[in-house]
Amino acid sequence: MPSFGTLETPVGVIGVSSDGAAITGVAWRSSAPPGADSAPDALLGEALGQVKAYFDGALKVFDLPIDLGPQTEATSAVLMALHDTVRHGETVTYGGLAERSGTQVPARGIGAIMGANPVPLIVPCHRVVAGDGLGGYSGGDAGQGIATKRWLLEHEGALPTALF
């Protein structure tokens, strides 16, 4: 049975799911998904500790096994290219990530893949931006996606702090 735990962060309550072997989900939610157990396994405890350290500014690279679930080959390639090549404090455009992934996925398709990322923060989809601005973001509390993306990028030093 998967384990689930939550952590209060500056951008809302984040829920993390683990199957004991890998992190299977990260989402802005305070209640467990159906079938999840609130008794944390060791990996979930480690993941929650790493997420806390990230928000405290003490962690720049997550060191956790992840399971992206069933994905197409192109989707997996794009998500793993993001995970493996875009570091803390960096951003990449949708088109740039398409090139890095070696797939034929167009920039608009990259945006859809980012929206379907099952483990945001760990696979840092907030670091993918449009060529002319922030682009979209489906993370964060309802209606707070862009504000959450901005906060995360400012937190990492990838975006100057907003004046307003």
Tokens at 15, concatenated: 């829920």
- CATH, domain 3-56, list 3.40.50, 3.30.160, 2.60.40, 1.10.4100: 3.30.160
The pLDDT value given to residue 136: 87
The pLDDT value given to residue 131: 85
Catalytic residue numbers read 125
Whether 3-56 and 73-155 share one fold: the answer is no
Q: Cα separation of 90 and 99, whole Å?
A: 16
Domain ranges of the chain: 3-56, 73-155
Record: fold of 73-155: Arc Repressor Mutant, subunit A (1.10.10)
Residue (of 8, 7, 11, 41) closest to 23 by Cα position: 41
The pLDDT value given to residue 83: 97
The helices-and-strands tally (H runs, E runs) of the chain is 5, 5
pLDDT digits (tens, 9 = 90+) for 13-34: 999 999 999 999 999 987 777 7
pLDDT in tens, the chain (164 residues): 789 999 999 999 999 999 999 999 999 987 777 777 777 789 999 999 999 999 999 999 999 999 999 999 999 999 999 999 999 999 999 999 999 999 989 988 999 999 999 999 999 999 999 988 888 888 888 888 999 999 999 999 997 666 54
